[in-house]
Structure 1
Amino acid sequence: MRVLITGGAGFIGSHLAEAHLEKGDDVYIIDDLSTGSMDNIRSLQKNTAYKDKLFVHINTILNPDILLDLTGICDVVYHLAAAVGVKTILDKPLESIVTNIQGTEKVLEMCNKFKKRVLIASTSEVYGKHMHAPLVETDNIIYGPSSKFRWSYAASKLMDEFTALAHHRTNGLEVVIARLFNTVGPRQTGAYGMVIPRFIAQALNNESITVFGDGTQTRTFTYVNDVVASLIALMASDQAVGEVTNIGGVEEVTILELAQKIIEMTKSSSKIKFIPYEEAFGKDFEDMQRRVPSTEKLARITGFAPDKSLEFILTKVIESNKVGS
């Protein structure tokens, strides 16, 4: 099978590429390296077993010619390319909206042209300001005002979902939508506001661990290998076509508890420092106080759901950070 991964040099994309290569598939990557990195796929390029299996194109999905060629060649398309991270969204609001909405439109148009099954990677951010748990795929959406640009990311990804589902209903395009909840693992950088790699880097350097807000906000975290397994299983399932499915972890934790646990596991001398949201992100930011997924639908469709504990995930990320240091 020939697989196209947009954003394939990114954190999740590189792990997905590796998994498909291990399955014996040909993998085509397109990435503009705006948030991805060649370092993420360097080992794959150096692996002689993948010499004639991996094809990397440094380009943008907004380039119709390269997207036409790659979509035509491949059997299925994973669309992971997007503006990611709160910091990116707030620093580059217009560029982020264009990338997320126009990029997805172009990918869907090409997939529709060739009638290729496509998986759209969405995000738990689309749920907005819910406080209940677990979040199920049919829950209502609750956003803050448009003056808070933090919500532009959630709104743009929700529009991606609407566009994909419209293609499915109007054109019969086989679309699969996955809402990802806080994916974590080796190769992830804290540069774009990702909390676990940032906390671990601070702890390993015995620096202050900076907790934004009061730390009572909660999250669940999903190990990247579980996410990749879920994505591949959803792509292969006819039941997933035309559906939105959560992919998320199992253990709810406050951000303060997360910081304390990382200090304990790294045996760090770091102290916790609380920083007001406005100081960290500016006036355009609002946080989501709680984000816990239901994965019943995922398990029902694929027979699989992420099950890695927070301790397992943190151990893996700490080990990878020590190796890289």
Structure 2
Amino acid sequence: MYALRKRILVTGGAGFLGSHLCERLLNDGHDVICLDNFFTGTRDNVLHLLDNPHFEILRHDVTQPLYTEVDEIYNLACPASPPHYQADPVQTTKTSVLGALNMLGLARRCKAKIMQASTSEVYGDPEVHPQPESYWGHVNPIGFRSCYDEGKRCAETLFFDYHRQHKLRIKVARIFNTYGPKMHPNDGRVVSNFIVQALKGHDITVYGEGQQTRSFCYVDDLIEAFVRLMGTPDDFTGPVNTGNPVEFTIMELAEKIIAMTGSKSKIIHKPLPHDDPRQRQPDIQLAKEKLGWEPKIKLEEGLKPTISYFASLIEQGLI
């Protein structure tokens, strides 16, 4: 067992995805370093792990160099919802770009394998549907979302240049909309927004006519994809789309959450935000071929524990 145990760093480890990943890696028998600056992550997400002797938590910002010894790195650090990444756009770009540089430097020194949590936002407002990994995207480089979109695109560039120039073992996952327990209640994402509004009986805010589409992947499915990607042979780098290809309109999601919560909330419409993508659906053929992976959890099945999580926060007076 000792020989199989890896020392794994998860940046952004106290965030939504990072905390689920830390838990999975511990369950798989590894030593886990959870690194977070707690800008959007919270200790509450990993409190239940603190007594585990194979888990440690480190307050650190990835824009600063880190010196430690690791076998693998999952680089998840970056605010991922528009309200959070637009709150300090310069810092968001620095987190993506300097964070990638620092983690790549650490991986090179340790000869560690490293995975970049990229995003479907690298495709921008896509003119190709669904989006395959070969699509280069349709991104506004000077818009309100550019700090995140272009920051993640630059991070991918750095990963592939380190791979070509320094023979670094890299993996790149492009994450599509993901939901589940431990989402930040104020992150502005559509699933958490709608659930909290519905549970509180507030009006549900739909931007535009609500005909824009999204594909929603439950967090457990996504974490499975991460682990499988990291376990692929070194000659497979990605990028690989990780998401659920089943597409829903925003109106369909709103109506489904109202029905599942038994809410009396009304749906109201507001203008579309800047550069809001009209369609977002992953082509996951590559993930099926290379990872043997596709999502298993249907939207209704994943919404149940997610609704229960937010209901619990409301009951405790935390939101």
Q: CA deviation at 1:112?
A: 1.2
Write out per-residue CA displacement over residues 132-188 of structure 1, whole angstroms, 9 at most, x where no aligned residue: 422110012111251x22123111101100110011011100000000001110000
Write out per-residue CA displacement over residues 249-268 of structure 1, whole angstroms, 9 at most, x where no aligned residue: 13201111111111111110
Q: CA deviation at 1:295?
A: 1.1
Separation (CA, whole Å) in 2 of partners of 1:183 and 1:315 = 14
Aligned to 2:58: 57
Separation (CA, whole Å) in 1 of partners of 2:83 and 2:22 = 26
Separation (CA, whole Å) in 1 of partners of 2:305 and 2:247 = 18
2:39 aligned with 1:34: yes
Equivalent position SS for 2:50 = helix
Aligned to 1:14: 19
2:168 aligned with 1:169: no
Contact 2:261–2:307, Cα closer than 8 Å, also in 1:
yes
Aligned to 1:250: 245
Contact 2:128–2:135, Cα closer than 8 Å, also in 1:
no
Separation (CA, whole Å) in 1 of partners of 2:185 and 2:212 = 18
2:84 aligned with 1:88: yes
Contact 1:4–1:78, Cα closer than 8 Å, also in 2:
yes
Separation (CA, whole Å) in 2 of partners of 1:259 and 1:83 = 24
Contact 1:216–1:255, Cα closer than 8 Å, also in 2:
yes
Q: TM-score, normalised by structure 1?
A: 0.92
Query: Kindly, what percent of the aligned residue pairs are identical?
Result: 35
Aligned to 1:121: 117
Separation (CA, whole Å) in 1 of partners of 2:259 and 2:44 = 30
- Partner amino acid, structure 2, of 1:295: I
**CA 1:129–1:35 in structure 2 vs 1: closer, same or farther (change >3 Å)?**
same
Write out per-residue CA displacement over residues 256-314 of structure 1, whole angstroms, 9 at most, x where no aligned residue: 11111111111100000111135xxxxxx210000000111111111121132111121
Residue number among 159, 180, 186 corresponding to 2:175 in the alignment: 180
Write out per-residue CA displacement over residues 174-230 of structure 1, whole angstroms, 9 at most, x where no aligned residue: 000000001110000231211101100110111100112221110001110111111
Separation (CA, whole Å) in 2 of partners of 1:239 and 1:68 = 24
Aligned pairs for 1:1-325 (under 5 A) are 1-46=6-51, 50=52, 52-64=53-65, 67-69=66-68, 72=69, 74-144=70-140, 146=142, 148-238=143-233, 241-277=236-272, 285-324=274-313, 325=315
Equivalent position SS for 1:97 = helix
- Partner amino acid, structure 2, of 1:321: F
Aligned to 1:281: none
- CA RMSD for the aligned pairs? 1.4
Contact 1:131–1:289, Cα closer than 8 Å, also in 2:
no
Separation (CA, whole Å) in 1 of partners of 2:63 and 2:86 = 22
Contact 2:214–2:279, Cα closer than 8 Å, also in 1:
yes
Structure with the higher fraction of residues in helix conformation = 1
Separation (CA, whole Å) in 1 of partners of 2:281 and 2:74 = 24
Separation (CA, whole Å) in 1 of partners of 2:141 and 2:234 = 36
Equivalent position SS for 1:291 = coil
Separation (CA, whole Å) in 2 of partners of 1:167 and 1:116 = 12
Contact 2:75–2:115, Cα closer than 8 Å, also in 1:
yes
Separation (CA, whole Å) in 2 of partners of 1:108 and 1:102 = 10
- Partner amino acid, structure 1, of 2:168: L
Separation (CA, whole Å) in 2 of partners of 1:190 and 1:216 = 24
Contact 2:121–2:149, Cα closer than 8 Å, also in 1:
yes
Contact 1:83–1:100, Cα closer than 8 Å, also in 2:
no
- Partner amino acid, structure 2, of 1:125: E
- Partner amino acid, structure 1, of 2:258: I
Q: Which runs of 5+ in 1 are unaligned?
A: 279-284
- Partner amino acid, structure 2, of 1:28: I
Separation (CA, whole Å) in 1 of partners of 2:179 and 2:302 = 7
- Partner amino acid, structure 2, of 1:118: I
Q: Which runs of 5+ in 2 are unaligned?
A: 1-5
Q: CA deviation at 1:239?
A: 5.6
**Count of residues in correspondence between the two structures:** 309
Contact 1:30–1:59, Cα closer than 8 Å, also in 2:
yes
Contact 1:250–1:308, Cα closer than 8 Å, also in 2:
no
Contact 1:190–1:196, Cα closer than 8 Å, also in 2:
no
Equivalent position SS for 1:119 = strand
Separation (CA, whole Å) in 2 of partners of 1:127 and 1:44 = 35
**CA 1:290–1:239 in structure 2 vs 1: closer, same or farther (change >3 Å)?**
farther
Range that drifts further, 157-166 or 250-259: 250-259
